[in-house]
Amino acid sequence: MRRQLVAAVAALGLLAACGDPGATPAPPDASLPAKDQALHDLLPQRLKDAGVLKVGTTLPNLPYLLTDGSNNITGGITPEVGRAVAAKLGLRYEIENIAWEALLPGVTAGRFDMADDGLSDTEERQRVGLFVDYMQSASVLVTAKSNEGRYRSVEDACGRRIAAIRGTTDVQHADEISQECVRKGKPAAESTQYPTAQDADLALRSGQADFQVAVTEQARYAIKEQNAPIVIVSADFAPTYVGMYLRKDDRQLADALLAALKALKADGTLDRIIGRYGLRSLPEPGLNLATSGS
């Protein structure tokens, strides 16, 4: 699935909405790891020459990207892991906010070295790209807090309306829920696609939708840290690997990123970063784990 901000937070103005795209230097961090020359030597020559790792992402996106009132990135899993990886490789880290629809094509076109946005590793995306996975995720159904107690499971979505964000695997999950309803002899769920997280949330908040497909860690973080007016009404479903997305032919860079992530896993840095958000990294980072059998 696409890592989306639980839209209730954005629609209610608790976080800044997406601003004008632009390159954003990562905030300084004295605790960044030192350059590892052996890892630096693994990099493609273009990265050694440039001295910078260019990353595309889409704001806002809890807990992967945290922003202030001016939409400046203040933290989150994506920049904190990314800065540590870049530092280990002896590179500067530069992140750019871009519309979701242009994110993966931007990697393909060479605008960015990679996309890192809580992206799910899927077989379809692997046809044109390469994943360096370091986390796992899952999905849940959420509803407006005003519906608390009314809906208690995925089956309650049968005959109801589900909001999903266009171009994401949330759409697939909503369709699968609907198909399962029919298989059990219940009314199909009505899945509606919205262009942005804010639009999907507005539908939920205004009663145009009864449910929204959300990412587990986003929903939990938004409820706990942002007091978002939503409740989770399902157990986790559709587990997925999450990682950095590169061009399919950029294997040398992928291997260097993977080596850096493994080093950060070994020294505890990766677990410390992700643990701050109540989540866990993979036991061992890997490439294209969604189809590797790992």
Total domains in the chain come to: 2
Query: Do 191 and 151 belong to one domain?
Result: yes
> Which residues span the domain enclosing 37?
7-136+241-292
pLDDT value, residue 12: 30
- Domain membership of residue 58 (yes or no) is yes
Does residue 116 share a domain with residue 80?
A: yes
Give a yes or no: residue 2 inside a domain: no
Are residues 195 and 219 located together in one domain of the fold? yes
Residue 32 within any structural domain of the chain? yes
Supply the pTM of this predicted model: 0.78
pLDDT of residue 18: 30
Assess if residue 186 is contained within a domain.
Answer: yes
pLDDT at residue 167, as a whole number: 77
Q: Which residues pair with 230 in a beta bridge?
A: 144
Residue 56 covered by a domain: yes
76 and 198, same domain (yes or no): no
- Please indicate, yes or no, whether residues 130 and 246 belong to a single structural domain of this protein: yes
Domain boundary among 238, 259, 277: 238
Cβ proximity of 133 and 242 under 8 Å: yes
Same domain, 107 and 234: no
CATH of the domain at 158: 3.40.190.10
* Digitized pLDDT (tens) for each residue of the chain, 294 residues in all: 444 433 333 333 222 223 333 344 444 455 899 999 999 999 999 999 999 999 999 877 888 988 888 878 888 999 999 999 999 999 999 999 988 889 999 999 999 999 998 898 999 999 999 999 999 989 999 999 999 999 999 999 999 999 998 878 889 999 999 999 999 999 999 999 998 777 898 999 899 999 999 888 888 888 988 889 999 999 888 888 999 999 999 999 999 999 999 999 999 999 999 988 878 899 999 999 999 854
